[in-house]
Amino acid sequence: MIRHSRVEPRRARRGHTLLLFAIILPLCLGLVALCVDTAMIGVSQAELQTAADAGALAGAQQLADDHRMQGISSLGNEIGAANASAATIGQANFVLGQAPYIKQDTTNTGQGDIQVGYLDPNDPSSTLDTSTSSQFKYNSVQVVAARSANRVGVVPTFFAQIFGFNGSTVSARSTATAWPYTIAGFQGDGINSAYLLPIVLDLNTYNAMMAGTTQDQYTWDPTLQIVTVGADRVTESVTFPVGSGSPGNWGTIKIGISNNSTAILAAQDQYGITPSELAAFPNSTIALDPTLTPPSMTFSGNPGMSAGIERSLVAIIGRPVTIPIYDMSGGSGNNAWFRVVAFAGVRIMAVNFQGNPKYVVVQPALVRDPLALPGVPQSSWTSGGLVKLHLSR
């Protein structure tokens, strides 16, 4: 007896398919909602992080203020400037087409989205110290950027609204730090090192200036950006021309050049060391040799003293620059040499090559140089040095 298999009617199969589709459709919609809305949260998170990063960097930059070199009695102006700058720059970075809201906190009591405090540059695990006892060390700005019910509004959902989800709270936190470091050297990057002068200062005089035992006759006004006569609690030193101990040499050196052209010295003073001059050093890098004791490098000296560089030095009065510091010198004339053991940030305060005495007066300063290599953190803001600005948390 022949048995025939039962063939399911087409209508019945269609019914099963519709039933299966009805079961799977909500799952598919749920997955679509999850993917689309998760992507939306991811985009908003990234944009909030950009806003927080930008705000923190802008705020920390305000803490690297030249007034701090002068031992100011209050950091209120800097805290206020850090808040204003962090909020302005942070809110300039849109999140999902809208500016985020970043609340300022000029009292620095934790009532806003911005906090100013101190992070130990020698301790990567340190936490932000906002205590008033640490105020004069403040070097960091923390910014929180968020989208929430009371911050512009939650990150909206689209498909997920079908399931009753109307939005998500998303936030980002960033901390930036600015602190002065010693200058370890310079590395070429196709641009002039506009901050390195071919004029040296002896170590003993430099140490005396940093100890506050030299003269204080000039003032740098960070607000007006001018030099005036009068004390500002930052002592100065005469750097050029000085008797260097090398007969026929008055403290200028050759950086990436082999001749003693006054025109080249003047150009280096006013416009910096060129990429081709930096290329004269291995890997276009000027740096102290750590294998030597003390770490150092030797430069050839330029003989003679010329008034031809006066105009170029007058042109940079008020500008922060870097000068090499030497502890030993020798030779004479075109064979003179200087053993450089440090690079120091200074500001040109006064220049006079007419009559006697001739002088170039400098005082410690904060330097911002994209080609400078940071060394170790300085002990305080009053020491000056290379300002390093970076995201630290």
Owner of token pair 């105020």 = 135
Residue 248 has pLDDT above 60, yes or no: no
pLDDT digits (tens, 9 = 90+) for 132-147: 999 999 999 999 999 8
> What is the DSSP annotation of 146-170?
EEBTTBB-PEE-SGGGGGT--EE-E
Contact at 8 Å (CB) between 368 and 327? no
What stretches of 151-290 adopt beta strand conformation (E)?
155-156, 167-168, 170-187, 201-202, 218-221, 226-229, 237-238, 249-253, 285-287
pLDDT digits (tens, 9 = 90+) for 341-388: 999 999 999 998 887 777 889 999 999 988 999 999 998 898 999 999
Which residues, at least 6 apart from 133, have a Cβ–Cβ distance to it below 8 Å? none
Q: Which two tokens stand for residue 323?
A: 């000068």
Q: Which of 240-249, 266-275, 378-387 has the lowest mean pLDDT?
A: 240-249
pLDDT digits (tens, 9 = 90+) for 49-103: 999 999 999 999 999 999 898 888 789 999 999 999 999 999 999 988 889 999 9
For 132-156, give one letter per residue: b (16+ CB within 10 A) or e. eeebbbbbbbbbbbbbeeebbebbe
Residue 351 burial (C-beta neighbours within 10 Å; 0-12, 13-18, 19+): buried
Residue 243 has pLDDT above 50, yes or no: yes
Residue 250, phi then psi, degrees to nearest 5 = -120, 25
pLDDT digits (tens, 9 = 90+) for 113-130: 999 999 999 898 899 999
The domain spans of the chain are 25-178, 189-370
Beta partners for residue 237, in sequence order = 362
Task: Choose among 176, 111, 171: nearest CA to 141.
Answer: 176
Residue 33 has pLDDT above 70, yes or no: no
Question: How many CA atoms are closer than 13 Å to the CA of 266, on its beta-carbon side?
Answer: 13
302's enclosing H/E stretch is strand 297-303
357 cis-preceded (ω within 30 degrees of 0): yes
How many other CB atoms are there within 10 angstroms of residue 352's CB atom? Answer: 14
Which residues, at least 6 apart from 33, have a Cβ–Cβ distance to it below 8 Å? 157, 158, 159, 160, 162, 163
pLDDT attached to residue 160: 56
Contact at 8 Å (CB) between 40 and 156? yes
pTM score, whole prediction: 0.82
Cα 313 to Cα 350: distance, rounded to the nearest angstrom: 9
pLDDT digits (tens, 9 = 90+) for 285-327: 999 999 999 999 999 987 655 677 889 999 999 999 999 999 9
Residue 30, phi then psi, degrees to nearest 5 = -65, -40
CA distances (Å), 180 to each of 116, 134, 365, in order?
17, 17, 10
